[in-house]
Structure 1
Amino acid sequence: MKTLFPVVFSAMAAFAFARIRFPGSALCFFLIISVMMVPNPVFYTPQYMMMSKLGLVNSVTALWIASLVSPFATFLLRQFFLGISKELEEAAVLDGCNPFQIFRHIMLPLVKSALVAIVIIQLLWSWNDLQWPLIINSSPEKLTLSAGLATLVSMFGTDYPVLTAGAFMAVIPMLVLFLIFQRRFIEGVAFSASKG
């Protein structure tokens, strides 16, 4: 969920910012991007208060609901959408496509490498998230893997073989995912770097 929703919502937002002109679009995009300049710990207190009011403290839902949109993914995908020729969109409009059909059937397939790169980056960020799960959850069964590993470290003694085995197991899924999608990931990152 913490990977799927940010990718879907950020892709829609990026398409809107790149292709649809509406009043205040530049200001809205600036506000979304300005979130990237603020360190994540600044948001922990207001997010915790919101989760508390919603009754979601110590729940799995609280782990992903606070990050439904990714400013980084929105920025990166907007750059990709701006690089696509407007003639494709105009041809689709002449064929009778509405904006959602243009987004779904024309634009998304053209930015597949960027989507794969963003999915891998979001999954990596979600997988390695440490502070937020430790703040919002106290039950061991609701902690993420990295937060669970952090609880194994104790000032009274750490079982290093168990900690090392857990850390090794935590690395394997991300390594396998990267190896499977390596070509697309490198294409997406390289193309976004050339867009500058």
Structure 2
Amino acid sequence: MTRLIRGWPLTFVLAAVFGLCVGPFYWMAMAATHANSDIFSNPPKFYPGDQLAENTRKLEESIGLLHVLGNTLFVAVATTLGALAISLLAGYGFAKFSFRGRNTLFVLLLSTLVIPGGVTIIPVFEMMNDIGLIDSYPALILPGLTVPFGIFLMRQSLLAVPDELLDAARVDGAGELRVLARVVVPVMRPVLAALAVFLFLGSWNDFLWPLIALRTPEMHTLPVALASLQATSRTDFGQVMVGTAISSLPMMVLFLVLQKQFISGLLAGATKG
């Protein structure tokens, strides 16, 4: 009984934190089911309404929801897969190969982590514009393929993979790509899953770069399309809430599916020296 009483403060704190984290998502989900005039009513309506289908229909008419979702999903998946491959290959090179200037190059790579992303927007835009890629999928995908944090995470995790394991595969006649695919990737699966969640989240929610790089509504990603709904004199928040809920759903599903690999991958990346 004494232990139960002592546990009440911690339970209260955890419940309060849970409410602060989940409360905004619950209100968003409820607001998506109400008409625009009812969303900010007093008292607030924290129960489901009957306008979800209507709000979704209006959102489809306003921004072409399915087309925008297709754009966003394609860019996010392509960026995630490409960045994973480059991070793994670069991390493998830094961790398992000796070459002149390796440490200096790695330090230079790490130094880019302290550079704000906004500083590189203008140079990247000029590069994309010079080669004629503005307002295209490559303009959205290519700048996100090289992720210094991903390379660092792969390198730190690969340092713990025994060299003897790789040498045994080479003795059996496996080339470097086969060693990477058959030996390294299975061992690195939790770290790759954790990095994939980070990369997908960053690409899916990216707003500033697509806003700058895109010129036609047909190329818009979901964050840019949702922002366009608030550019008018009267914002239909029912549509905005439906779009925001749809935007949040894939990340929730992805984290629930990969949560074990995500947590173990973060722990692995934090403990490798």
Matched, 1:156 2:156: no
What runs of 5+ residues in structure 2 fail to find an aligned partner?
A: 1-77
Task: Give SS of 1:169's match.
Answer: helix
CA RMSD of aligned residues (A): 1.4
**What amino acid sits opposite 2:206 in the alignment?**
D
In the alignment, structure 1 residue 76 sits paired with structure 2 residue 125: no
CA distance, structure 2, for counterparts of residue 22 and residue 93 of structure 1:
19
Q: What runs of 5+ residues in structure 1 fail to find an aligned partner?
A: none
Shift of the alpha carbon at 1:157?
2.3
1:37 to 100, 108, 114: 114
Asked whether 1:112 is paired with 2:189, we answer yes
Q: Which letter does structure 1 place at the counterpart of 2:134?
A: V
1:170-195 deviations in Å (ceiling 9; x for gaps): 00111111111111111101221223
Match of 1:51 among 104, 109, 128: 128
Instruction: Calculate the TM-score normalised by the size of structure 2.
Output: 0.69
> Offset at 1:154?
2.5
SS at structure 1 position matched to 2:231:
coil
Task: State whether structure 2 residue 246 is matched by structure 1 residue 169.
Answer: yes
> What whole-Å deviation, never above 9, does each CA across 1:128-181 have from its counterpart, x for those lacking one?
101000011121221111121122223622111111110001001111111111
> Which amino acid is 2:219 matched to?
K
**Using the alignment, how far apart are the partners of 2:177 and 2:136 within structure 1?**
34
Q: Alpha-carbon deviations, 1:26-84, whole Å to 9, x = none? A: 12212222221111111100110011111111112210112221111111011110011
For the 8 Å contact 2:159–2:272, the answer to whether it is kept is no
CA contact (8 A) 2:80 2:196 kept: yes
Q: Whole-Å Cα distance in 2 between the matches of residues 132 and 176 of structure 1?
A: 25
Matching residue within 205, 208, 214 for 1:131: 208
In the superposition, the TM-score normalised over structure 1's length comes to: 0.94
Equivalent position amino acid for 1:28 in 2:
L
